[in-house]
Amino acid sequence: MQVLITKRPRGTEDILPGEVEVWQFIEKTARDLCREYGYGEIRTPVFEHTELFHRGVGDTTDIVEKEMYDFEDKGGRSITLRPEGTAPVVRAYLENKLYTKSQPVKLYYIGPMFRYGRPQAGRLRQFHQFGIEVFGSKDPAVDAEVISLAANFYKRLGIKSFDVQINSIGCSACRPLLKEKLHEYLYSYQKDLCKTCLGRLDRNPLRIFDCKSQVCQKIMASAPKPLDFLCQECREHFDKVRNYLDVLEVTYSVNPRLVRGLDYYTNTAFEFFAEGIGAQNSIGGGGRYDNLVETCGGPPTPGIGFGLGLERTLLSMKRQKVEIPLDKTPDIFVAVPGGENNDLMVKEAVRILALLRKKGFSADKDYMQRSLKAQMKYADKKGFKYAVIIGQEEIDRGFVLLRNMESGEQREVPTAEIASKIKMLIEGEKING
């Protein structure tokens, strides 16, 4: 059991230097985009009262039924590590009375989510989502904005191949009729449905559209579709969303079988797909939730948002071999030969190192008592652009040696001019490519 302290919990990941830069790139892309679109960041706790998710996500969802990371705290409260971002943001919207501010309220978040299940490709117990929520507006142009923001996110990350699918699942006025017709239709095929769908028949017949079983697919092919039962208002809303998407030049397809897993969705539903995530191919999704705020005890407030899986985004970037423009190589390594007067030289090295860093260079020195040769080898492996070599001879004459690690070219530079000299060289390189 002792070994547990050297092992991360199942379904979690360490993100190390080398990999973390990609995460920073993804996060920066999201933040830049949100700033451009006028979304403000919100940071909510990673845990909430369990009840929030029962109410907000829905008791019949798998997330709540079997995937929640819940526990009792020392005060006897039932606490849950958030499995998704929308319910907490709705809670914060209400608790902070954001409905009293000018509407719409446009928010975004980036952070870890938790779901208890067996890990596999593209599925972890702690994973990360980038999400946005818009409160207070029913304007179909908002639906289109939300969808296009997500599409632009993927595009800007360099993911060339992904699909946008949209659908409308109606509102509280027209959905009951759909459910009734669907129910009626499915009852005649009751004995042919797969086991899981049989269970869904009464609880959530819409989900049967999602089933991968051949038989169910065949049955659903001619089942009543949500789009056929939309009320006038929903129909118009959906048409306008599509028009705006065309204006925004977002390529999408309508998938009449697209239904989302969470209970709170109404009207517009959408999902993003890409290859290379194992058996999973959904990299994000969202939709409108015009009743959720009220359900959670707030004033009637329409809302819409998405949640995008960052691990899955990353996987599809890797799959599509996206090149990320990152300059990770450090600038200057300060090397010191061993031998007599080493103390003196090291002091000078420490002084120059501090100076270079103050000037904004990424600079380092040896801390392993390595020979000069080993220091050079280290500098090479780490990809330093320049080496500054400080020896007794040079100190005496007020010079240091400046070596270009790529070309091997080496020259003497007066110690006082070292920073400006390197700056000139590095900037010159950038200009010359």
Near RNA by CB under 7 A: residue from 55, 82, 91, 115: 115
122 binds RNA (CB under 7 A): yes
Give me the DSSP letters along 399-430.
EEEEEETTT--EEEEEGGGHHHHHHHHHHHHH
Residue closer to RNA, measured from CB, 96 or 329: 329
Piece in contact with RNA (CB under 7 A), picked from 110-118, 155-163, 317-325, 353-361? 110-118
Residue closer to RNA, measured from CB, 249 or 396: 396
Near RNA by CB under 7 A: residue from 32, 45, 78, 121: 121
Which tokens hold the place of 134?
């818009």
| Closest separation in Å from C-beta 127 to RNA | 3
Site for RNA in 297-326 (CB under 7 A): 307-309, 311-312
Residue closer to RNA, measured from CB, 101 or 347: 347
Comparing CA positions, the residue from 65, 59, 60, 58 lying closest to residue 200 is 60
CB 162 within 8 A of CB 274: yes
Comparing CA positions, the residue from 278, 279, 276, 280 lying closest to residue 317 is 276
Comparing CA positions, the residue from 162, 148, 165 lying closest to residue 37 is 148
Site for RNA in 195-214 (CB under 7 A): 196, 200, 207, 210-213
Q: Would you call 69 helix, strand, or coil by DSSP?
A: strand
Q: Work out the angle at residue 53's Cα, subtended by the Cα atoms of residues 49 and 55, and round it to the nearest 5 degrees.
A: 105
Q: Facing residues of 388 across strands? A: 334, 402
Near RNA by CB under 7 A: residue from 124, 142, 149, 250: 124
Q: What is the DSSP letter of 123?
A: B
Torsion angle (degrees, nearest 10) of CA 145, 149, 150, 155: 130
CB 69 within 8 A of CB 80: yes
What Cα–Cα distance (Å) separates residue 165 from each residue in 105, 147, 433?
25, 10, 41
Sign of CA dihedral 87, 88, 93, 96: positive
Within 8 A by CB and 6+ apart from 23, the residues are 15, 310, 314
Q: Would you call 26 helix, strand, or coil by DSSP?
A: helix
- Interaction mask 383-422, RNA, x per CB under 7 A: ----x-x-xxxx------x-xxxxxx-x------------
Near RNA by CB under 7 A: residue from 20, 51, 59, 117: 117
Q: Would you call 167 helix, strand, or coil by DSSP?
A: strand
Residue closer to RNA, measured from CB, 121 or 173: 121
Residue closer to RNA, measured from CB, 231 or 346: 346
| Closest separation in Å from C-beta 9 to RNA | 7
| Closest separation in Å from C-beta 329 to RNA | 11
| Total residues in contact with RNA, by rule CB under 7 A | 75
Find the DSSP H helices in 131-250.
140-157, 175-187, 195-203, 214-221, 232-247
Site for RNA in 151-190 (CB under 7 A): none
Site for RNA in 242-301 (CB under 7 A): 260-262, 278-285
Residue closer to RNA, measured from CB, 280 or 320: 280
| Closest separation in Å from C-beta 120 to RNA | 4
Helix then strand count (H, E) for the chain reads 15, 16
CB 46 within 8 A of CB 112: yes
Near RNA by CB under 7 A: residue from 141, 346, 372, 425: 372
Residue closer to RNA, measured from CB, 387 or 422: 387
| Closest separation in Å from C-beta 118 to RNA | 3
| Closest separation in Å from C-beta 244 to RNA | 23
Site for RNA in 46-105 (CB under 7 A): 61-63, 66-67, 84
- Interaction mask 339-368, RNA, x per CB under 7 A: x----------------------------x
Near RNA by CB under 7 A: residue from 186, 219, 376, 418: 376
Q: What is the DSSP letter of 109?
A: E
Residue closer to RNA, measured from CB, 39 or 265: 265
Residue closer to RNA, measured from CB, 120 or 420: 120
| Closest separation in Å from C-beta 345 to RNA | 9
Residue closer to RNA, measured from CB, 120 or 172: 120
Residue closer to RNA, measured from CB, 41 or 406: 406
